[in-house]
Structure 1
């Protein structure tokens, strides 16, 4: 018997895993990255944009070291008043995804709260290893804040957020903004964030060959980002925020995660250390949830509860 058996999956989620595995296998290895990058863009995205009365605009801006990157901007047609801003960073294990991945979750807030959504196309590892991804993301945040008036954003009401690797990069960007005295963030939304390159927590060892994004996948993503530095003392807190010794001075932070996924323990620890530093964090650990379950099985009861809870928090942040 294993010393630390994995928690069981929620019954609804477990029943759906076979179908999920046809799209996303439990384990990602380096040779799979090129094929996975060929996944088509969500064909329903344009319909969602139209349904909330938003318009989509692209801008080319300066990323890390002056290289060009693209941001997508979503705002209501005729948007003029300065409202809240959502700065979105997509997931994909540091090696997959694009600026359209995950924006559907935030588009309704364009209609309900007059939010302006900016999503950044940061460059991916392994072609662009650390510090490129997090620095691209920070450059996009600085650009958003500097152009807030033209975008229709109140610069004091910018929330940064993303899922998985996007959650980890959001945490890294939040630390950069604090340490460089950059944009003053209203809040950080970390959706099952990827925070710790060391891959040695109990939850990392529990999830192998099951669910979505197992321990081997985690090695694949972190090795692509950090190379031989992964697991050594030569890793920046902005690349792996779990390594930050000081989590004081952060904006209110929301963290959610499943109980049956690799990131559980590092995410719980991150919230606990924000509290220990006197900060504000809201943490939810959803029983039986595998990584990304709310997106893969949105009709499950636990998925609906997760999304509703997250959206209530985001609404509160956008309204104040």
Structure 2
């Protein structure tokens, strides 16, 4: 289904230590040495319990490197089967701090650190945006939580959903593994970003989602909540497609449209969104 391509990308694998754990990082750069480039932490999907950092090659992260000269740092966060919440979030936050502290050697503009990801990676992108805002140690210029997995409660689109790739059964299972006994409880917004009540001062956001997938309603609500708090936010909606269609069928007309619109939005963000670091 998926095709990995490293064309036009240089890669490097390192690891960092945080919270007593070793976190592997995949660093993707354009062929020409970047200087003052946008730095993007891109977080892979997989329901918090599967997936790998190398999925950056098959989704929109690769577009950012090839088409926009961005530097992408993809964390191999610890999966929930053996490391439930908050380990994955802590791994991503540690990666974010690493990007800030090493921006110069990475070729990154420290005032243009961004986050993004698909599905559970989108959920972690939203959660780490909230955590970074609240801790105040690193500023995020832009967030791209694509069709994010952010609500541990059923919504109108996630209940009784039998679509391919992701559906109600898989969603319930994944939240139960990630949150354990708290899967159906009111949890921290860092665990399930839809539980957030204060959306002010979060980074500008862009996402897209399709109408047939479980995360349709929670994605729209996230964007509406950001807008209501005065945050610039936009969502593109695609009719009838299924979860992660842009990765599964990038040559489908709708997949092509989603990819084109994503790239246009990132080009805009590269020109307009900055967040000056303090200290």
TM tier, smaller: over 0.9
2:88 aligns to what? 133
Q: Does 1:283 align with 2:235?
A: yes
Q: Does 1:197 align with 2:152?
A: yes
CA contact (8 A) 2:56 2:74 kept: no
Q: Does 1:270 align with 2:225?
A: no
2:39 aligns to what? 85
CA contact (8 A) 1:88 1:103 kept: no
| Deviation, structure 1 residue 298 | 1.9
CA contact (8 A) 1:190 1:254 kept: yes
Pair 273,239 (structure 1): closer, same or farther in 2 beyond 3 Å: same
CA distance in 1, matches of 2:160, 2:257: 25
- Which sections of structure 1, spanning at least 5 residues, go unmatched? 1-22, 24-41
2:128 aligns to what? 173
1:115 aligns to what? 70
Which residue of 169, 194, 206 maps to 1:254?
206
Deviations 1:218-257 (A, max 9, x none): 0111000001111212x22111000000111011101211
| Deviation, structure 1 residue 311 | 1.2
CA distance in 1, matches of 2:267, 2:118: 17
2:98 aligns to what? 143
Which residue of 194, 212, 216 maps to 1:242?
194
| Deviation, structure 1 residue 82 | 1.9
CA distance in 2, matches of 1:268, 1:179: 23
Deviations 1:234-292 (A, max 9, x none): x2211100000011101110121110010011111111111111111001121101111
CA distance in 2, matches of 1:121, 1:206: 32
2:259 aligns to what? 307
Pair 112,303 (structure 1): closer, same or farther in 2 beyond 3 Å: closer
Which residue of 6, 10, 17 maps to 1:62?
17
Aligned ranges 1:7-18 → 2 under 5 Å: none
Whichever of the two has the greater Rg, that structure is: 1
CA contact (8 A) 1:89 1:119 kept: yes
- Which sections of structure 2, spanning at least 5 residues, go unmatched? 273-279
CA distance in 2, matches of 1:195, 1:169: 8
* Root mean square deviation, CA, Å: 1.5
